[in-house]
Structure 1
Amino acid sequence: MSSNDIIVSLDIGTSKVRAIIGEINNGTLQIIGVGSAESEGIRKGAIVDIDQTVHSIRNAIEHAERMVGIEISEVYVGITGNHIGLQSSHGVVAVSNEDREIGEEDIVRVLKAAEVIALPPEREIIDVVAKQYVVDGLHDIHDPRGMIGVRLEVDATIVTGAKTAIHNLLRCVEKAGLHVKDLVLMPLSGGQLALSKDEKVMGSVLVDVGAGATTISVFQEGTLTATSTLPIGGDFVTNDIAYGLRTMSDQAEKVKLKFGCAWIDEALEETTFKVTRIGSNVEKEFNQVFLANIIEPRVQEIFHLVKNEVKRLGFDDLPGGYILSGGTVSMPGVLKAAQAELQTSVRIAIPDFIGVRDPGFVSGVGVLHHVMRSIRPRSNNSGGAKKPSPRKAAPAETASKPGFIERMKNMFSEFI
């Protein structure tokens, strides 16, 4: 296996750190390895302990390395959180070639022109996502390469993040002995993987319910329009279970994973389990119906907050409905609870790859899918293990940012 065919994504979540290894063969992505480790040092999706997070990253990477038998040196890191912001921008350049044929260099220049915006000193540009290109007044062009024109414009979405959050994320990955090939916005990459073309065009909401946070991503007209993060997730269900059963959090988490049901009508009275109560060594028996009565109200509350947040963002009754992802939505009954609360079409997204057919892998696999789409038009090789070739950006996705790492280095100097 050639190392240039390997790409690796790193999904640092509140409950799990996942390293997913993908192999690209003739433009097709295959998942060949997954490393997972318990996440320490993350609270509600934010890094609160550098050393513990580094330890978790190393464990996940080592797990993935053992599975595939390669050494991972470079990763594409997924980023999300309530510090992420989207800002519209417009760039204009003159076509540089004498024959007026638009080339890759012109696309890079126009995306760089779109980056020229006023930003507060505490924020940093993470990515530039092209919504449409305009060639001499002709709109709705997604790939202008090879076209003849004099004036090239782009309507783009600038993805920005807080320097502190970006700095801490990069510091953790680099302290784990890895090189950050690029940062990838997980709401964007997850939507590319989980949503169909029609869903993105007509309008739909991707809801990623993680352990510590729920990320909401609104897609319209084929692109990411808005994103928001709520500090509530599966951990709140675990806390309710621990309180209701009067047991410890680690036992509550095990009970949730094995017997949890988010819809009371689907719970079974004959399904029973025992837990050790706090303050005694005596085990008490409960059934699944009792557990569902604890879980269902909290899950409905999560989706009630999601619905209100989507309305606050200015969207209502999107034709594409809601698409759910994240480890929490794999619990039985979550789909019915969501449908009852959201009162629209709801489905659960599952990656169609062997070994990762679980809603919790949407974000990590989405990063690989995004990278593959970005490099495919320019090169058959990619990066992730040993010495990968540099990432090349597709025109309708993101700009290739050779100055990104330099900006990060300059940012580091400001903090040190």
Structure 2
Amino acid sequence: MSSNDIIVSLDIGTSKVRAIIGEVANGAINIVGVGSADSEGIRKGAIVDIDQTVQSIRNAVDHAERMVGIQISDVYVGIQGNHIGLQTNHGVVAVSNEDREIGEEDIERVLQAAKVVALPPEREIIGLVPKQFLVDGLDGISDPRGMIGVRLEVEATVITGAKTATHNLLRCVEKADLHIAGLVLMSLASGQMALTKDERSMGTALVDIGAGSCTLAVFEQGSLVATSTLPIGGEYVTNDISYGLRTQTEQAEKIKLKYGCARVEDAADDQRFKVMRMGSNVEKEFSQVDLANIIEPRMQEIFHLVLQEVRRLGYADKIGGYVLTGGTVAMNGVLPLAQAELESSVRIAVPDYIGVRDPAFTSGVGMIHYASRYMRSRSSGGTAVKKTSSRKASSSAPARPGLFERLKNMFSEFI
């Protein structure tokens, strides 16, 4: 396999770090390798220990490398969290060509103009996503290249993040001896793959319920219009099981994965299991119904908080449905419970690829889709982040622009 045909996504989550290898051939994507490792050093989606996070990244990448038999040097890194913010901005430039034909340079200049926003010193721009272009007042244009005009405008969503959180994430990846090919907003990438064109246009909330956090992304008129992160997820369910059954957290997680059911009415009383209690050498038997009585209230709370957050964002009446993803929603009974609590149409998004048919892989596979479509087409020039051919740069290599300078311009490729 040629390295030019390979895209690797790195999903650094609270419970797992996942490295997914995608091979691009004739415009089609095949998932050829998946590496997964327990995530250490992450709490509620935030990095709390650099060294442990670095080791988790290395373990996941090594696992993926052994599966495929290649060395991974470049990765697209997913970013999310409650520090992410969205704001709309407008850019205007005059077309520079004498024949008034809009070219790449004009598009680049108008995107740079849209990045001129006032930000607090602790925040920085990590992405820019054009909503539409306008040529001499004509709106609704998705790609103005080759058109004739005098005035070029863009309406764009500026993605900002906290410098501390962003730099710590990138620092961990660099310390794992990996080159960052791009930074991807995970909710944006997941939405491009998990939602249909109609869902993105008519108004849909994508809810990613992970272990430590729940990320909500609202899409309307084809664009991401709001995002929010709630500090609650599958870990809370595990902790409830641990307290309820008086057992170790590790055993509670295994029980949840094997016997967990989100609704009592869907649980089977004849499905029984034994649990070693804390402070005792005696095992006690429980049924799936007992377990569901612990899980259901917490899952109801998660969906209640999601509904509250949608209302707080002001999109309660604009959303036509919900799409669920993330490892927690793979549990039995989640879909009917969500439909009852959210009082709307709900479906679960699962990647349609062998080996990753699990909601937990939606973000990682979505990043590969997003990178292949928006971030690689012009990676050989312009302002795209260039790739290196090996993990560690040679000491004799010429000096390159700073990483964060390159990342600031990266999302200008998303047109």
Aligned to 1:162: 162
Question: What displacement does 1:317 show?
Answer: 3.4
Any idea what the Cα deviations from partners look like across 1:139-174, whole Å, max 9, x if unmatched? 010111111111110000000000000010011000
Amino acid at match of 1:329: V
- Contact 1:27–1:376 (8 Å) recurs in 2: no
Measured in 1, the distance between the counterparts of 2:21 and 2:279 equals 44
Determine if contact 1:7/1:384 at 8 Å carries over to the other structure.
no
The amino acid that maps onto 1:80 is: Q
| C-alpha separation in 1, matches of 2:402 and 2:104 | 18
2:230 matches 1:240: no
User: What is the 5 A alignment of 1:15-414?
Assistant: 15-375=15-375, 378=378, 387=389, 405-407=403-405
Give 1:377 deviation, angstroms.
Answer: 5.2
Equivalent position SS for 1:132: strand
- Rate the CA distance shift 1:265–1:335 in 2: closer, same or farther, 3 A: same
Cα separation, 2, equivalents of 1:38 and 1:384 = 30
1:192 is paired with a residue of what secondary structure? helix
Determine the C-alpha separation between the residues in 2 that align with 1:81 and 1:340: 27
The answer to whether the 8 Å contact 1:350/1:359 transfers is yes
Report SS of the residue matched to 2:370: helix
Letter in 1 for 2:129: V
Q: Is the 8 A contact 1:190 1:366 kept in 2?
A: yes
Give me the whole-angstrom Cα distance separating, in 1, the residues matched to 2:385 and 2:366: 16
- Name 1:394's counterpart in structure 2: none
1:51 Cα deviation from its structure 2 partner: 0.5
* 1:8–1:384 contact (8 Å) kept in structure 2: no
Distance 1:71 1:298 in 2: 42
Displacement of 1:345: 0.2
Q: Deviations over 1:30-78 (max 9, x none)?
A: 1111100000000000000000000000000000000111111111000
- In structure 2, distance between residues paired with 1:330 and 1:154: 40
Quote the Cα distance in structure 1 between the aligned partners of 2:380 and 2:407: 29
The aligned residue for residue 393 of structure 1 is: none
Supply the distance in 2 between the matched residues of 1:183 and 1:383 (Cα, whole angstroms). 9
Query: Aligned-pair RMSD on alpha carbons?
Result: 2.1
Q: Secondary structure at the match of 2:51?
A: helix
Q: Evaluate the alpha carbon distance shift between residue 380 and residue 114 of structure 1 in structure 2; reply closer, same or farther with a 3 A threshold.
A: closer
TM norm structure 1: 0.92
Distance 2:376 2:147 in 1: 20
Q: What is the deviation of 1:404?
A: 7.4
Gaps of 5+ in 2: 391-399, 409-415
The alignment covers a number of residue pairs equal to 397
Measured in 1, the distance between the counterparts of 2:376 and 2:100 equals 25
- Which AA in structure 2 matches 1:87? Q
Alpha-carbon shift at residue 318 of structure 1 (Å): 3.5
The DSSP-based 3-state class of the residue aligned with 1:298 is helix
Cα separation, 2, equivalents of 1:107 and 1:146: 11
**Matched position secondary structure for 1:70:** coil
Distance between the aligned counterparts of 2:110 and 2:386, measured in 1? 28
CA distance in 1, matches of 2:387, 2:141: 35
**Partner Cα distance (2:191, 2:165) in 1:** 22
Contact 2:187 2:217 in 1 (8 A): yes
- Residue 94 of structure 1: CA displacement? 1.4
Percentage of pairs with the same residue: 70
TM superposition outliers: structure 1 runs of 4+ over 4 Å: 375-386
Whether contact under 8 Å (2:88, 2:157) holds in the other structure is yes
Residue type at the aligned position of 1:55: Q
Letter in 2 for 1:368: I
The one-letter code sitting in structure 1 at the alignment partner of 2:389 is K
- The residue identity in structure 2 corresponding to 1:160 is T
Higher relative contact order (CA 8 A, sep 6+): 1
Aligned pair in 2 of structure 1 residues 328, 183: CA closer, same or farther (>3 Å)?
A: same
- Taking the aligned partners of 2:406 and 2:378, their CA distance within structure 1 comes to 25
Unaligned runs of 5+ in 1: 389-401, 411-416
Q: CA deviation at 1:405?
A: 2.1
Rounded Cα–Cα distance in structure 1 between residues aligned with 2:386 and 2:273 = 44
Using the TM superposition, give the Cα deviation of residue 101 of structure 1 relative to its aligned residue in structure 2, in angstroms: 1.4
From the superposition, tell whether residues 383 and 151 of structure 1 become closer, same or farther in structure 2 (CA, over 3 Å).
closer
